A and B are shown apart, each in its own frame.
Chain A
């Protein structure tokens, strides 16, 4: 695959390195001369120096034949511009953007850039996971498909403890394919009973997240 990475910072550099190891054709577009020099010294002739948001530079980079464009500069407005130009002017099929301000995720989605990675969100999810009795942790959200993968930890005082899965009022558009208990994965079925500290992984329609949150959050006695 031909993959263009715009932004030659740490993320861009290591991404390129790994993709090159997987034998993809990779080009990094980077403005800064010093960064370009370091990348070409380390990785070879895989750098184009220039403003990756500029259509002339995009053309020079061969954007029109790229299979994937990854925008990982430190500026959300630049990443958005890169993905939009890639989509609208160069018809690049797959565009992935790094987002710095998590609130910008919605804007990217509204503009059809649905593959985004927010480091801030990832760290936040990691923190959420460490906090006990916290509501749902989002593992993956596929907004267009209207589905998300979430995880909930059963609090020690939860009313769901000792109950069978089949007896919980789990919404129809939600399934529980995995429970992690003491570090081991269990593929549950209707008879499986829940225990304190179980980490319940659910695949759910976005609309039903609230129900799950109430069910496993230990906040109500709905179960």
Chain B
């Protein structure tokens, strides 16, 4: 599977390494060249320096024949817009965006263009469950 990832932060780099090790064809985009150090020395994929909301940069990462696009830069707005470009301009079959803001997540989920992941809601749910789980002292 050909996967393009936007954002080489902790999550982007982690995913990139994992997909790369599993034998997938990975390209990762980031605005800062230092961030690529997170990929380690054994990363086999492609790295592309630039902004993820530019069609030319996305093309350079091979988005035209990508099976999946993952937007996990540290900006919700960038992720939403990059995901929209991936879907509407390049027709990427699977598009996933990380959105920190739960309200934005709801809005973009309803739009139906992309799958969204909201770490705020996920972590909140998990922590809530942990402290309210049966057996926990009141």
Contact = CB atoms under 8 A, between A and B. Distances in A.
B103 interface: yes
Interface residues of A, number: 21
Nearest to B103: A55
A78 interface: yes
Contacts of A76: 53, 81
Nearest to B104: A55
A80 B82 CA distance: 11
A118 interface: no
Given A80-B77, A103-B55, A88 B104 contact: no
B89 A111 contact: no
B54 interface: yes
A207 B56 CA distance: 26
B37 interface: no
Chain B interface, >50% SS class = helix
Interface string B84-128: 110011000000000001011001001100000000000000000
B23 interface: no
A78 B103 CA distance: 15
A222 interface: no
B107 A101 contact: no
B76 interface: yes
Contact of B104 (A77, A81, A104): A81
A106 B89 contact: yes
B111 A81 contact: no
Nearest to B110: A88
A88 B80 CA distance: 14
A78 B84 contact: no
Question: What is the interface residue range for chain B against chain A?
Answer: 20 to 34
A107 B101 contact: no
Given A101-B54, A103-B54, A110-B88, A55 B77 contact: no
B77 A88 contact: no
B89 A75 contact: no
A81 B76 contact: yes
A75 B101 CA distance: 19
Interface in A56-77: 56, 75-77
Interface string A27-56: 000000000000000000000000001111
Nearest to B88: A110
A101 B82 CA distance: 14
Nearest to A110: B88
B103 A75 contact: no
B101 A54 contact: yes
Given A104-B53, A111-B88, A89 B76 contact: no
Nearest to B106: A89
B104 A85 contact: yes
B77 A75 contact: yes
Contacts of B85: 107
Contacts of B76: 53, 81
13 contacts: A53-B77, A56-B103, A81-B76, A81-B80, A84-B80, A84-B107, A84-B111, A85-B104, A89-B107, A101-B53, A107-B81, A107-B88, A110-B88
Given A76-B81, A110-B88, A111-B88, 7 more contacts: A76-B53, A84-B107, A85-B104, A89-B107, A101-B54, A106-B89, A107-B84
Interface of A: 53-56, 75-78, 80-81, 84-85, 88-89, 101, 103-104, 106-107, 110-111
